[in-house]
Structures are given as C-alpha cells and as structure tokens.
Amino acid sequence: MTNEHEGQQKRSLSWVEFLIERAIQVSGISAIILVVLIFLFLIKEGTPTFLEIPLSSLFAARWYPIEEYYGLLPLILGSLIITIGAAVVSLPLGLATAIFIAEIAPEWVRDILKPFVEVLAGIPSVVIGFIGMLVFAPLIRVALDIPTGLTAFTGVLLLAWMALPTVVSVAEDVLDAVPKTYRDAGLALGMTRWQVIWRIVLPAGRSGVLMALMLGVGRAIGETMTVMMVTGNAARIPLGLRDFFMPVRTMTATIAAEMGEVAQGSPHYHVLFAVGLTLFVITFAVNMAAASVVFRQVKRAERMLS
C-alpha cells in the first residue's frame, strides 16, 4: 500500500469502520490465542508425566494403565497406521470423485453429486461407527477369513469414508480454480480430455490437492468415536502388514475411553494428557509440513511466471 492511499483511507475512517475493523482483528487473533491456550493447558497437564514415569516405561510395549503399564508405543503406532491407511485409501478415491465432479460430469449430475458428498460430511461419527460395527466388521471377517472383523483395516475404510467429503470438496474447489484458458490451450493443441486433466489441470492445482489430503489426514487422526467402535482397541504394537488386519488401539480412543473414570492429578490422568500432547504435536507437524510444501510451490510458480 502506498502512503498516499493510506492517508486517504485514514481520512474516510468513521468510528463504525474502526469498530468493525477491531472486531475482525479480535476474532482473527482469538483463534491464535485459543490454540496457544490449548497448547499451554496440554503442556501443564501433560508434562508431569515425564517426571512421574521413567522414559523407559513410556516407551515400553504394554499399555495397561490400571496396573501402571504406561507404554505409549502401541497407541502412537496404532494412530499412525490408521491415519496413513485412511490417507492412502481416501486420496485416490477423493481425487477421482473431485475430478469427476469438476471436469467430467455434466451439469445436472454435478448438481446432484455435490450436495450428496456434503451430506456425507454431516453424518455423525457414532452412526458411521455403528454401521461399521454391525455391517462392515462381520463382512470383513467373513470375506478375508480373519479371526475378527474389528481391525485396523475396518477403521481405515470407515475413516477414509469420513475423510472423503473433506478431500472431495477442497480438491474440487482447487480444480475449479484452475483458469479455463489452461484447458482451452491444451485442447487447442490437440490433447485429449484425459491428457488435459492429468497433464495440465492436476499439476496446476497440485498444492491445493496436497492441502486437501492434509485436511483429510487431520480429520482421520483426530477421529475418535468411529475408531473406538470398530478397531477393537487392543493395545498391541502394529509392525507388519499382517497387523493391518488385527485390532489396534489409537490415541484418541484411549483418551475417550479412559478419561471419564480417571482420578484428577493421578499419573494416569497426566499420561492421558501426554497422549493428547503427542497427538497435538503430530497434527501440528503435519500441518506445518503441508503449509511449507504449499508455500514453496507457490513461490516456485511465482518465479516461473516472472
């Protein structure tokens, strides 16, 4: 903004505008303050864990807090395997849906499909969990011939289903934002429709697609109810591919299941907050990584255009 422009603005500022500006400023800053407060609260309640419980015991393989086994590894790995699985399943599905809606489907199909995808986002997670427990788990057990259907795999499928609306709507918006002239140029050069999508539209919206994936991952890692209902919650360490078809226990399900009965201020209480802190740090790191990649790509695009 130039000095001249600023001066002009200042002169025309009435007190109403001043108030509106302040209000917007406060609401903007409040988000930051809230995140910081939550982080401080987690640190305050979670850090006593590291004084009360030796590190060796925190990195042990067994989680059974009522007998003072506080191994966090099964929970962390459990959350990771579920989240990575859900991302791997929901990205291609979501991207394909988004491409279909944005590029291929005729107008009337799009008008039907889009609201339906958005309704999917509104289904309460406990309902999805219930469907998973009653319908998916028995089907998966019989189809794959495994001991029980309450497995990491079941959780992954349901979470992918839940993350889908997020991935689809963000990715679709991104594809929509790619200028029409890009497509026209491609088509004018004799490219097929598929080539235009794959070679032009997708690369142009790459950073946005990555953002969609990260938002989906955020949804998946924080999801609690569904996961608690369908993954069996056995605190075993998942290492191989075989463990994908065995029960796991996630960090979120652990907090939800155990927080209600725990005595405030006890080591168990603190360790649950430490689990929450771990979850927070992981989510934060994922978001930071996504943001930095997106930022770098934007800069590169700017450089190329200049």
List interacting residues with another protein (CB under 8 A): 61-62, 64-67, 69, 133-134, 137-138, 141, 147-150, 228-229, 232-236, 246-247, 249, 256-258, 260-262
The tokens 């999917």 sit on which residue? Answer: 120
The CB-of-234 to another protein minimum distance in angstroms stands at 5
Residue type, 152: A
The CB-of-290 to another protein minimum distance in angstroms stands at 32
40/21 Cα distance (integer angstroms): 28
Judged by beta carbon, residue 71 or residue 165, the one nearer another protein is: 71
Contact assessment for residue 82 and residue 152, using Cβ atoms and an 8 Å cutoff? yes
Query: Nearest CA to 62 among 47, 75, 80?
Result: 75
Crossing angle for the helix pair 267-305 and 15-46, nearest 10 degrees? Answer: 130
The CB-of-22 to another protein minimum distance in angstroms stands at 44
213/287 Cα distance (integer angstroms): 11
The CB-of-249 to another protein minimum distance in angstroms stands at 7
Contact assessment for residue 207 and residue 293, using Cβ atoms and an 8 Å cutoff? yes
The CB-of-171 to another protein minimum distance in angstroms stands at 34
Judged by beta carbon, residue 187 or residue 262, the one nearer another protein is: 262
Judged by beta carbon, residue 262 or residue 282, the one nearer another protein is: 262
- What length does the chain have? 306
The CB-of-143 to another protein minimum distance in angstroms stands at 13
Judged by beta carbon, residue 218 or residue 267, the one nearer another protein is: 267
Judged by beta carbon, residue 120 or residue 257, the one nearer another protein is: 257
Judged by beta carbon, residue 90 or residue 231, the one nearer another protein is: 231
- Gap between the terminal Cα atoms of the chain: 21
Tokens of 170: 């963000």
Query: Nearest CA to 279 among 63, 42, 17?
Result: 42
271/269 Cα distance (integer angstroms): 6
